[in-house]
């Protein structure tokens, strides 16, 4: 029998190897359960969130299927993981952002929101009466002082700022692709950032996407969060195809 067997029954019990298995299972579930890969990229004056879009059933209205959520008019989150947990977490982000604005009179900074959500996720790892949510959040906004900002929060409560990041089934492959571009990202405008995100997905999944198979959101300058239409995505796909030709 394994030395660590039986230590994954409760979220509050450390194994002899110093691991919390239920937290690790939650992270693994968030990465693999949806089968999707998500990418976020930060440019000179904008951020883009890009992910696959898979409609589970032909009878489902495609417009109701999304992993991109507006938290406020100028802050958005890309959720990856179990669909129900993702929606619950997105709702909590909206609550925290609106509560902050009500109390202090100005919009919640993206770094403060990431810290708050990370703290909540970390509390879920301390109590046996709670279950860690199988959802990875990538939060994006253009900060008034620091410019474009990307934060990634995992089920354990870790949160870090990124120049570019990925989550989901092909996370490591997408991260390797983005690492090769990291020195160029600071010079990218909004269009270049979108194309970088789409090309990362195409490269790691080795697929030529249709516009309906991708969803993307751009947060640029002082403009509101903008979800790209199929026509806008198609235009970017055509530019990428011409560049590769």
Query: How would DSSP label each residue in the chain?
Result: --TTTTTTS-TT---TTS--HHHHHHHHHHHHSS--EEEEEE-SSEEEEEEE---S-TTS-GGG--SEEEEETTEEEEEEE-HHHHHHHHHHHHHHHHHHHHHHSSPPPHHHHHHHHHHHHHHTTT-TTS----EEEEEEEEETTTEEEEEEE-TT--EEE-SEEEEETTHHHHHHHHHTTTTTGGG--HHHHHHHHHHHHHHHHT----GGGEEEEEEETTSPPEEPPHHHHHHHHHHHHHHH-
pLDDT in tens, 168-212: 999 999 999 999 999 999 999 999 999 999 999 999 998 888 899
Compare 31 and 17 and report the one with higher pLDDT: 31
Please state the pTM of the whole predicted model: 0.92
Alpha-carbon gap, residue 179 to 129, rounded angstroms: 39
pLDDT in tens, 76-131: 999 999 999 999 999 999 999 999 999 999 999 999 999 999 999 999 888 877 88
Give CA separation, 30 vs 38, 134, 154, 243, in Å.
12, 5, 9, 34
Mean pLDDT, residues 6-18: 77
Alpha-carbon torsion (102, 103, 104, 109), positive or negative: negative
Architecture category of domain 21-244 in CATH: 4-Layer Sandwich (3.60)
pLDDT at residue number 1 = 36
pLDDT at residue number 203 = 93
Domain residue limits, the chain:
21-244
In this structure, of 17-21, 76-80, 134-138, 167-171, the range with the lowest mean pLDDT score is 17-21
């Amino acid at each position: 029998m394994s030395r660590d067997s039986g230590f994954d029954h409760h979220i509050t019990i450390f194994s002899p190897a110093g691991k919390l298995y239920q937290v690790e299972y939650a992270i693994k579930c968030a990465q693999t359960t949806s089968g999707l890969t998500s990418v976020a990229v930060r440019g000179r004056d904008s951020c883009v969130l890009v992910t696959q879009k898979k409609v589970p059933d032909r009878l489902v209205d495609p417009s109701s299927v999304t992993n991109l959520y507006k938290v406020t008019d100028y802050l958005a989150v890309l959720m990856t993981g179990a669909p129900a947990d993702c929606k619950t977490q997105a709702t909590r982000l909206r609550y925290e952002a609106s509560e902050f604005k009500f109390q202090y009179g100005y919009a919640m900074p993206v770094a403060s929101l990431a810290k708050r959500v990370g703290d909540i996720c970390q509390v879920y790892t301390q109590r046996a009466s709670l279950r860690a949510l199988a959802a990875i959040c990538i939060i994006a906004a253009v900060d008034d002082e620091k410019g474009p900002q990307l934060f990634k929060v995992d089920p354990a409560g870790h949160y870090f700022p990124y120049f570019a990041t990925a989550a989901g089934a092909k996370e490591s492959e997408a991260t390797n692709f983005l690492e090769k571009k990291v020195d160029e990202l600071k010079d990218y405008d909004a269009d270049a950032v979108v194309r970088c995100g789409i090309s990362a997905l195409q490269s790691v999944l080795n697929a030529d996407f249709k516009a309906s198979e991708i969803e993307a959101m751009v947060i640029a300058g002082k403009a509101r969060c903008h979800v790209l239409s199929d026509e806008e995505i198609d235009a970017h796909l055509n530019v990428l195809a011409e560049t590769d030709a």
